[in-house]
Structure 1
Amino acid sequence: MSKATDTPQLVVRPRRVRRVAAIAAVAIVAVFGVVAALLRNTPTGVYFRVSDQVAMVGVGLLIAVGVLSLARPRLRAGAQGVEVRNILETKRVPWDLVLGVTFPEGAPWARLELPDDEYVAVMAIQAADGEHAVRAMRELRRLYRAATGGDD
């Protein structure tokens, strides 16, 4: 699916993990900020400098960015195919390579079934999102059927 030729008809992002990640990131930065502020007044005899405090806040920010990356997944589907962005990578898959759109029993997220027993995890459609995930799967399957003429 190229961005220039295919306008997405469906865009899905997870809901619950985005809220939890945002709250956790703020909490992590706050905790590391408080620890950094209190770092100078320690009875251990160790002398902490301002650079140590800045480093502590920096570590908190890095951890918060890592937590926020969990909110990165997105699915964009159009007439030409599907673009799946998970935490670390983005894959574009044309509909003619998709054999099915499934949500296996007990799985945390949906997946696109590909030839040779391969699949692409669709972390944007998560079981934790309940009805939001059900609506997204219905729409994704509708697009799949319209593009391939197949039944899922």
Structure 2
Amino acid sequence: MSTPPVEFPVTWAPRRTRVVLLPVCAVLVVLFVVLAMLLPANWQLNDRIMMIASGVLFACVGLMLARPRVTADAEGVTVVNFVRSRRLAWAEIVRVNFRQGDPWATLDLADGTSLAAVGIQSGVGKAQAIADARALRDLVEHHTQV
């Protein structure tokens, strides 16, 4: 069996989403800090602190939305979704699915469950998402046959 022409590690992530969200998060924090400083004098310190905390909270949500990715290496696949991350050995992955209308790829696992792979999503462009899902599928098929 030949090795697929891939140099590990391979990472699939919605890069455009990150390019937009990361600067927006920084702007949110700066904006809320400036707003907290420009509040009228009758606003107390705790009001200003809560204004800054709100900006940080919104930025954290943006960072959470920018987090998803799927990384494959010689030992397996790491799926990082919005909140959780999971490491899978190649043998644990039975199939990669990306059906018409699905927002992201899903991995069928050997234990009968499935795992969303949000790093491969149609939001980046349907053709790109399909190509990414096929590349991961090819890697899964290669490593489970070896």
Query: How many Å separate the matches in 1 of 2:9 and 2:132?
Result: 12
Shift in Å, 1:24: 3.4
Within a 5 Å distance, the mapping from 1:1-152 to structure 2 comes to: 8-40=8-40, 47-115=42-110, 117-130=112-125, 131-149=127-145
Structure 1: gaps spanning 5 or more residues: 1-6, 42-46
| Aligned length, in residue pairs | 139
**Structure 1 segments of 4+ aligned residues over 6 angstroms from their partners:** none
Q: Secondary structure at the match of 1:99?
A: strand
Q: Secondary structure at the match of 2:59?
A: helix
User: Are 1:79 and 1:143, in contact at CA under 8 Å, matched by a contact in 2?
Assistant: no
Query: How many Å separate the matches in 2 of 1:12 and 1:57?
Result: 33
The CA RMSD measured in Å over matched residues stands at 2.4
- The structure number with the bigger radius of gyration is 1
Aligned to 2:4: none
Q: Which moved more, 1:120-129 or 1:80-89?
A: 80-89
Query: How many Å separate the matches in 2 of 1:13 and 1:139?
Result: 13
Identical pairs, percent: 35
Structure 2: gaps spanning 5 or more residues: 1-6
Shift in Å, 1:37: 3.1
Amino acid at match of 2:141: R
Query: How many Å separate the matches in 1 of 2:118 and 2:16?
Result: 12
Shift in Å, 1:23: 4.2
TM, length-normalised to structure 1: 0.77
